[in-house]
Amino acid sequence: MTSWLLSLGSVGAVSLVSLAGLATLSLNETGARRLAALLVSFAVGALLGDAFIHLIPQAFERDAVPLRPSLLILGGMLLFFVVEKLLRHEHGLLHKHHHPDPEASARPELAAINVFGDAIHNFIDGVLIAASYLVSPALGVATTVAVLFHEIPQELGDFGILIHSGLRVRQAVLLNLVSASAAILGAITALLLGAVSGAAVTMVLIPVTAGGFVYIAAADLIPELQHDRTGRGLLLQVSLIALGMGVMGLLAILE
């Protein structure tokens, strides 16, 4: 029972980080979208940094067969490609036959696929936190702190992506919270299955999520950044991408 209380309490606290976007409520929509444009560059660095610095090394560390994580990473990229194609298909849920001018830049499929990827990531975090508490309370606390600091830059980037895709601030905050709640499901899954089975689940999901993050950053976000062709825009984007990568690298050192 102690493991359940500590695990659910920890993932609940981590999930609240998704409300970071509430800090922008004082901004008008124009200001929020300008901030989102900056956060998209940061998100590219954070997603790629998370994939290559955290998730992919973990995937190879957890699996004794090197080929398996490689195939799962590629499978994750293919999965996210298929999901986005289905969302954008003429009979898909998010397809629109007519695009009014005010919404011409809206990218609902980008919001959907980002929430999908983030939900899997949060599910993994929940599994890791609960599995750690099953080993010892001290390890559980250490894992929670690591995940908490890891989530802050991730959630800021996710919020920027959601605003950039056309959502309003309140909608973006709500979707971020829904996505973050997947950590609770992950924790419950680990607690029910036990530490060994939970580790087996994460062994598959970690490389799949890494592939998904690489796909979102490379296929969806970087092309969006190409619309700004000014020298100032290039310098700002490169700086923010590097900042996102640097934050993830620093977190890896601190962990």
HEC string for the chain: CHHHHHHHHHHHHHHHHHHHHHHHCCCCHHHHHHHHHHHHHHHHHHHHHHHHHHHHHHHHHHCCCCHHHHHHHHHHHHHHHHHHHHHHCCCCCCCCCCCCHHHCCCCHHHHHHHHHHHHHHHHHHHHHHHHHHHHCHHHHHHHHHHHHHHHHHHHHHHHHHHHHCCCCHHHHHHHHHHHHCHHHHHHHHHHHHCHHHHHHHHHHHHHHHHHHHHHHHHHHHHHHHCCCCCHHHHHHHHHHHHHHHHHHHHHHHHC
pLDDT over threshold 90, residue 194 = no
- Model confidence band, residue 69 (pLDDT cutoffs 50, 70, 90): very high
User: 84-127: per-residue pLDDT in tens?
Assistant: 988 876 655 555 544 444 444 578 888 999 999 999 999 999 99
What is the pLDDT at residue 92?
Answer: 54
The model's pTM: 0.83
Of 237 and 27, the structure prediction assigns the larger pLDDT to 237
Ranges of each domain in the chain: 2-19+26-93+104-254
Rounded average pLDDT over 30-41 = 87
Give me the percent of the chain exceeding a pLDDT of 90: 54
pLDDT over threshold 50, residue 39 = yes
Rounded average pLDDT over 145-163 = 88
- Model confidence band, residue 136 (pLDDT cutoffs 50, 70, 90): confident
- Model confidence band, residue 225 (pLDDT cutoffs 50, 70, 90): very high
